[in-house]
Amino acid sequence: MPGGRAVRRGRVRQGPEDSRVLRVLVLAITLLSVGAVAAVGAVDLPTAAASFLLVPAGSWLAYRRRGKANTGLKAVIALGLVAALGAFVARVQQAQSVDEARHTLGSLFVWVQVLHAFDLPRRRDLAFSVLAGVALVAEAGSLSLDATFGLFLLPFAVLCGLWLYLSDRARGRDEGGAGRLVRSRHAGRRVRRIAAPARTVAGALAAVAVAGAAAFLATPRFPGTLVIAPPFSLVSRVAVPGFSGGVVNPDVPSSGSGSVEAVRGVGYPGFGSEVDLRVRGVLSDRLVMRVRSPEAAFWRGQAYDTFDGTTWTAPGSEIVKVGKQFGEYGQAVLVPITDPPGLGTRTLVQTFYVERRQPNIVFAAFQPREVYFPADFLAVDGFGSVRSPIILEPETVYSVVSEVPVTTPGLLRSSEGVPWPEEIVSRYTQLPAGLPARVVELAHRIADQEPTVYDKVMAVQRWLRENTRYRLDIPPDPPGADAVDHFLFERREGYCEHIASAMAVLLRAVGIPTRFAVGFDAGDRNLLTGYFEVRESDAHSWVEVFHPGVGWVEYDPTHEVPIADPGAGSRFIAPEVFAAIGRWLSGVIPDPVKAAVGALGSAWPWAAVATVIAAGMWLLRRRGGRRARRPPPVGAEAAFEAMCRTFERRGSPRPASRTPSEHLDALLASDPLAREASADLERIVRTFERERFSPRPPAEEEVEAALAAAAGLPSRPSTR
Amino acid sequence: MPRIRLRRRAATLPVGALLLFLVGTNVQAGWLFVLSSLLLGATVAGVVLPPLMVRRVRVIRRAPAEAFVGERVGVDLVVENPARRPRLSVAVRDPHVAPAAAFVPWLGAGDTVTASTIRLAARRGVVEGGPVVVASSAPFGVAEARSSVPAGGGRTVIFPRVVPVAALPLLEPGVRGGEDAVPSHARGEGYDFLGVREYRRGDSLRRVHWPSTARHGSLVVREFEQDRPARLVALVDTWADAGRTDGHAETALDLCCAAAASIALAALGAGHGVALAAGRRGEVAPPAEMERRDALAFLAELEAPGGVSLAVALEAVGGAIQGPAALLLAFASWRPNSARALLPAVGRLTARGVRVAAAVVDPASLRPEAAVLSARELRELVSELATEGVDVYPIRPEEDLAACLAGEPSVVAG
């Protein structure tokens, strides 16, 4: 059979794959995928190095022996696979978590690729290698924490696109075997033979990118609840000396009571035993941790219940140490629920990848239920905050399962009338002894008219939004001043700690139990990795308000974070993408342009629509113009037009009324070049006339000769 | 508008995307969503782009006007792309004469590519220059767009297979007809001198007339009075047909036509006049003398069912046979061709001195469209025809036609 193919049941049975291009492409895909898993640390260096040596060697051997049975080689490969599987099983049994097993799986995949590279006789074997490469890249993608993975994914996607194209083309060649291309005539330069298909394939890849982007935006995001494998790991263990459950913040120097310091270039000073509202400073944008979570939340670190006018403390918070038990997904610290469960919660699984040294606080969405942490025990205070006996060093990984209250305004309003627990009221409505009366009066003025606790909270939040401004570089408070009073009545500018403290004090002033919480804002979600990237500047404070029958509910007066269920809108990443694009545009668009857009006021949507319509009409007109233009001439017509162009440049244009023969006669009479090349011109014109007018068109060879003659005209000596 | 046919990749890519989406959701890995989206993007682009690859592609077919069954026919497909964008992986599928495909990896803007194909003319007939299918699954092989494009190129007449016929008694010299046969003064190799003519290739050197040759300066041969039947009438039965399962091999009617063509061309080569007749559209035209090409074209164009049984056609043709003639019946053993139906007309012809031969195709091993005679009935037919003086040549589809026509007449196997 031609090409060594045999037909069975109507399908083409493949013979050995002879295409070196396809084989080199698959080799590149394989090496790139191995490089990707090596880059994310899923395989150790010796394995990666061995792969980079063995895969090309195996591919070369597979090419050389593609037509042979290779029975012995297959047996050796099978033994190798068994050995790789055995090593995988052994390592899995030693793995501390499923996450570690994932790394082991990466090694197994790599060895499968390496061994398979030695036996690639047919195209479908090459396809398997590509498929295994996709699996490896997916493995690497699942382990990658940052955008550098894109450096692997982009070329990998391009190579896979080329594979799809070239393998399909090879299939087409197989099926079209009865046809033989004997002649090919190209109107343009030879370089187009490569450039034109390359441009078309590049255009197709661009189409993939556009369609892929649309799919990326339209793909819903769901919580990972099918199979949960909370990872945790520890790189180095730095124990907290004399750990008794307190917070140790190694980045913040201890300060004497009552002193006012400017904090610059160190960690957030609020993680510790107190939060002093007199401390000033600017936090850096350094990445402190990445959080894998299906949705944004406050990564809560601590809470405070006592305020003395300048400083929040938690003097009466009892601390208990909790050891590991068997949790829902394995050995975990089961955090005692300190607050009564609400009417409804949803489970939120978060994994924290520490990038910069942090205090011994186990940050988590409120309120944590199970902590998968690389320590034998943890300490939990009375506010549900968790501390570890070790400092959180970079590359520490831990996971937390939280029960996040699901609240709606209706639910919160309906809790009105439920009696408050006495101990909650007495503990969380404390006010500074010297609190000025005007603060209390302001609180009553804002909240007394509101019917429910929820409406009072909203009223205070609204008042803060309308009457205060967020600002980081504020001057120090006057000595002896109450920080909240000064913020509310004098400066009216401050940052999250002032705003949250003011809200807590105002609410407590009207008898609503409130506490002050610190931690990190959710951070910006990396649109590619899906991880929330938390920076030092995301350190934040907010308030927690107790609703009878519901529990503690977080309110953020600084950002006015909605408290209700995130709803279906958050299931899609498109809003975040558009917001990110908006932020980027806001950064790159010059201020005058932004001012002009601002001047349009409410009419800007209409202006945008008009711009889009105008652009569309311009594109349509351009496309119509292209269509109206004649397609490029081919064959003898191309030769004739080239001839006409040559003589037009020499001052002998062809009038529209002149026939080709008449034009030839006129050229012979007037132009010495025409006389010199009369035989060529005769050939061109006669071939063109036969192609255009004769029932028997010229042969391909004649057309080729005419094209060659036309191409040679400009290089004749008389032309110059 | 091109039709779209999804390939296997149209399923595997989305399934892969779904798997990555599920894993990505489970482990909350954003890169897996990117990878999943790229697979979906490739699927969408793979479905949207192929129709653009076949748009405005033109095909011109260059096929020979005539060919014989069994010949390898060269058909050129000139593929043009008058558009401003290149076309990738263009496949041209052409059923003309025999299904063939040509694959053009890329077709630049304004380019013309000529694909030369060789096809086996497996069956006789008239192949009109119909459309070709232009298809492309570029760039990713996810879906194939197919567009039917008129290719022109005129029609190709596939003549029946012609096998060498030697020593066929029907055409042998010296065989006279019945008692009322009247010799005609036709050219041949009889015994009475008729005249001289220029030498033709194949003439025996013994017939060179040397005096005339000397006078003319070129070879001149003697011509003698013809004493064989002056005219061969071939009647082909078009009652029904029977083909093979693959549809690409000769049918029973093809074999009848091949037998008739072989004998007719042998007769023409020997200088006999040849007239052909067959039932066509319910009628039988009187047999008309034809030259070689017309005879072949007549046989190439025959189709079943012709609407006339052989017995009826025989009555019509028999009445039109005048003077010394031989009659060739080429038919398959359909049930209407029983001995009882054919013998009366055959008997009348043999009684008039018409030499009759029959090429009988047994379609039992094929897929007959109509009822056929049983083996016993076929043997009975052959036997009775032989008894009537008819030379019978049984033709079995699985055997070589030349061998069948070269065998002893009136021999019926098993």
Same structural domain, A507 and A433: yes
ipTM of the complex: 0.76
Same domain, A715 and A654: yes
Q: How many CB pairs under 8 A join A and B?
A: 237
Q: Among residues A374, A221, A235, which one has the least CA distance to residue A293?
A: A221
A185 in a structural domain: no
Stronger pLDDT, A168 or A5, i.e. the higher one: A168
Residues B359 and B236 in one domain: yes
Phi/psi for A363 (5° steps) reads -70, 145
How many C-alpha atoms does A485 have within 13 Å on its Cβ side? Answer: 20
* Residue B148 belongs to domain with CATH number: 2.60.40.10
Nearest chain B alpha carbon to A211: B41
**Tens place of pLDDT per residue across chain B (414 aa):** 889 999 999 999 999 999 999 888 887 788 999 999 999 999 999 999 999 999 999 998 989 999 999 899 989 888 988 888 889 999 999 999 988 888 998 888 888 888 888 889 989 999 988 899 999 998 999 999 999 999 877 789 999 999 988 766 776 654 433 333 334 444 455 555 667 778 876 677 777 888 888 888 888 887 765 544 458 999 999 999 988 766 678 899 999 999 999 999 988 888 788 999 999 999 988 888 888 999 999 999 999 899 999 999 999 888 888 767 889 999 999 999 999 999 999 998 888 888 899 999 999 888 888 889 999 999 999 999 988 889 899 998 888 888 888 876 654 443
Quick: pLDDT tens for A9-55. 344 456 789 999 999 999 999 999 999 999 988 888 898 999 999 99
For residues A659 and A622, membership in a common domain is answered with no
What region, left, alpha or beta, does residue A517 occupy, with left being phi > 0 and alpha being psi -120 to 50 degrees? beta
Higher-scoring residue by pLDDT: A510, A559: A510
The least confident of A456-465, A508-517, A570-579 is A570-579
Query: Does residue B407 sit in helix, strand or coil?
Result: coil
Residue-level pLDDT at B138: 87
B249 and B379 inside one domain: yes
Q: Is residue B181 part of a domain?
A: no
Chain B residues with CB under 8 Å of A213 CB are 37, 41
Choose the final residue of a domain: B159, B179, B212: B159
pLDDT in tens, A284-307: 888 999 998 888 899 999 999 999
Chain B residues closer than 8 Å to A211 by CB: 40-42, 44-45, 48
Q: Say how many domains are in chain A.
A: 4
Domain span at residue A709 reads 635-719
Is residue B106 one of the residues assigned to a domain? yes
Is B347 within the bounds of a domain? yes
In contact, A110 and A37? CB cutoff 8 Å: yes
Same domain for A286 and A165, yes or no, is no
Statement to judge: residues B23 and B150 lie in one domain: no
Check whether residue A655 and residue A675 sit in a common domain. Answer: yes
Lowest mean pLDDT among A197-201, A412-416, B112-116, B198-202: B198-202
pLDDT category of residue A711 using cuts at 50, 70 and 90: confident
B97 contacts in A (CB within 8 Å)? Answer: none
Are B243 and B333 part of one and the same domain? yes
Q: How confident is the model at residue A98 (pLDDT cuts 50, 70, 90)?
A: low
A36 in a domain, yes or no?
yes
Chain B contact for A471 (CB, 8 A cutoff)? no
**Residues above pLDDT 90, as percent of chain A:** 33
Q: pLDDT (tens digit, 9 = 90+) per residue, A629-685?
A: 666 677 888 899 889 988 888 888 888 888 888 899 999 888 888 888 888 999 999
Q: What is the DSSP string of A514-581?
A: EEEEEEE---EEPTTT--EEEEGGGEEEEEEEEETTTEEEEEBTTTTB--B--TGGGGBSHHHHHHHH
Q: Are residues A421 and A507 in the same domain?
A: yes
The domain boundary, picked from B134, B159, B184, lies at B159
Q: Which residue of B has its CA nearest to A229?
A: B27
Distance CA A579, CA B359 (A): 87
Taking phi first (over 0 means left), then psi (-120 to 50 degrees means alpha), and beta for anything else, what does residue A516 get?
A: beta
Q: Are residues B219 and B240 both part of a single domain?
A: no
Residue B413 lies in a domain: no
Type and span of the H or E element at A440 = helix A437-447
The answer to whether the CB atoms of B31 and A172 lie below 8 A apart is no
Instruction: State how far the Cα of A185 lies from the Cα of A196, in Å rounded to an integer.
Output: 15
Q: Is A224 within 8 Å of B28 when comparing Cβ atoms? A: yes
Lowest-confidence region among A134-148, A201-215, A218-232: A218-232
Q: Given an 8 Å threshold on Cβ–Cβ distance, is A200 in contact with B23? A: no
Q: Distance between CA atoms of A401 and A295, rounded to whole angstroms? A: 13
Is the minimum CB–CB distance between A577 and chain B shorter than 8 Å?
A: no
Residue B188 lies in a domain: no
Q: How far is A574 from chain B (nearest CA, A)?
A: 13
Contact flag B80-A634 (C-beta cutoff 8 Å): yes
Q: Do B140 and A204 touch (CB under 8 A)?
A: yes
CB contact (8 A) between residue B34 and residue A175: no
Segment A80-98 mean pLDDT: 84
In this structure, is residue A311 part of a structural domain?
A: yes
CA atoms within 13 A on the CB side of A78: 6
Residue A176 with chain B: CB contacts under 8 Å: 91-92, 101-103
| Residue matched to tokens 């196997």 | B413
Beta bridge partners of A372: A399
Residue at A232 is within a domain: no
CB contact under 8 A, A179 and B44: no
- Asked if A221 has any chain B CB less than 8 Å from its own CB, the reply is yes
Question: Residues A445, A569: one domain?
Answer: yes
At B212 the pLDDT is 85
Distance separating alpha carbons of residues B227 and B184, to the nearest angstrom: 7
| Domain assignment present for B184 | no
Residue A461 lies in a domain: yes
Inter-residue contact B54 to B2 (CB < 8 Å): yes
Model pLDDT, residue B114:
87
Closest CA to A273 of A137, A381, A139: A381
| Same domain membership, residue A574 and residue A594 | no
What pLDDT score does A194 carry? 60
Residues in chain B: 414
Average pLDDT, integer, range A72-76 = 92
Instruction: Evaluate if residue A105 carries a pLDDT over 70.
Output: yes
Residues B232, B91 share a domain: no
Do B241 and B377 share a domain, yes or no? Answer: yes
- Is residue A490 in a domain? yes
Contact yes or no for A187 and B84 at CB 8 A: no
Nearest CA-CA partner of B91 in B46, B54, B142, B129: B54
Q: Chain A window 607-646: which residues touch B at a Cβ cutoff of 8 Å?
A: 626, 631-635, 638
Which of B185, B208, B225 is the endpoint of a domain?
B225
Give the closest-approach CA distance of A101 to chain B in angstroms. Answer: 14
Asked whether the CA dihedral A173, A176, A178, A184 is positive or negative, the reply is negative
pLDDT band at A628 (very low <50, low <70, confident <90, very high): low
H or E segment and range at residue B106: strand B100-107
> Which pLDDT does position A653 carry in this prediction?
86
Q: Do A211 and B30 touch (CB under 8 A)?
A: no
Please tell me which residue of chain B has the smallest CA distance to A531. Answer: B30
Secondary structure letter of residue A488 according to DSSP:
I
- Are residue B241 and residue B277 in the same domain, yes or no? yes
Domain match, B205 and B330 both: no
Q: Does A176 touch chain B (CB under 8 A)?
A: yes
Among A580, A600, A615, the domain boundary falls at A580
Question: Does residue A184 have a pLDDT over 60?
Answer: no
Asked if B392 and B299 sit in the same domain, the reply is: yes
Q: Is residue B126 part of a domain?
A: yes
Domain co-membership, B339 together with B204:
no
B25 closest CB neighbour out of A210, A222, A634: A222
- Residue B329 belongs to a domain: yes
CATH assignment at residue B396: 3.40.50.410
Q: What CATH number has the domain bearing residue A491? A: 3.10.620.30
A529 touches B: beta carbon within 8 Å: yes
Q: Do B89 and A626 touch (CB under 8 A)?
A: no
Question: Of all residues in chain B, what percent are helix, strand and coil, respectively (each to 5)?
Answer: 30, 30, 35
Q: Based on the structure, what is the number of domains in chain B?
A: 4
Same domain, B40 and B61: no
Query: For residues B344 and B315, is the Cβ–Cβ distance under 8 A?
Result: no
pLDDT digits (tens, 9 = 90+) for A570-608: 566 777 777 777 777 777 777 777 777 777 767 777 888
Instruction: Classify residue A193 as exposed, middle or buried by CB count within 10 Å of its CB (0-12, 13-18, 19+).
Output: middle
C-alpha–C-alpha distance, residues A65 and A450, integer Å = 84
Same domain, A608 and A516: no
User: Does pLDDT of A280 surpass 70?
Assistant: yes
pLDDT, residue B246, reads 67
Q: Report the chain B residue with the minimal C-alpha distance to residue A102.
A: B27
Rg value, chain A, Cα: 37
Decide if A98 touches B, using CB distance below 8 A.
Answer: no
Per-residue pLDDT at A564 exceeds 50:
no
Decide if A239 is inside a domain. Answer: no
How far does A147 lie from chain B, in Å, by closest CA? 9
- Residues A517, A597, single domain; the answer is no
Contact B139 A168 (CB under 8 A): yes
Residues of B in contact with A199 (CB under 8 A): 86
Which residue in the set B112, B115, B141 is minimally distant from A164, CB to CB?
Answer: B141
CB contacts, 8 Å: B22 with chain A:
226
Q: Where are the alpha helices (DSSP H) in B217-336?
A: 252-269, 292-301, 310-320
Q: Do A528 and B105 touch (CB under 8 A)?
A: no
Average pLDDT for residues A82-103, to the nearest whole number? 80
- pLDDT for the residue A263: 54
Inform me whether the C-beta atom of residue A527 falls under 8 Å from chain B C-beta atoms: yes
Q: Do residues B278 and B284 lie in contact, with contact meaning Cβ atoms separated by under 8 Å?
A: yes
Who contacts B203 (Cβ-Cβ below 8 Å, separation ≥6)?
A: B221
Chain B within 8 Å of A200 (Cβ-Cβ)? Answer: yes
Chain B neighbors of A188, CB-CB under 8 A: 108-110
Residues A615 and A666 occupy one common structural domain: no
Q: Residue B91: which of A176, A208, A631 has the nearest Cβ? A: A176
Cα separation of the two ends of chain B: 58
Q: In which region does residue A486 sit, left (phi positive, over 0), alpha (psi from -120 to 50) or beta (all else)?
A: alpha
Q: Are A164 and B42 within 8 A, CB to CB? A: yes
Candidates A445, A452, A455, A549; CA nearest to A489 is A445
* Helix B310-320 with B339-351: angle, nearest 10 deg: 10
Instruction: Tell me, yes or no, whether A159 lies in a domain.
Output: yes
Residue B151's domain spans which residues? 53-159
Q: Do residues A438 and A549 both lie within one domain?
A: yes
Select the more confidently predicted residue: B387 or A185: B387
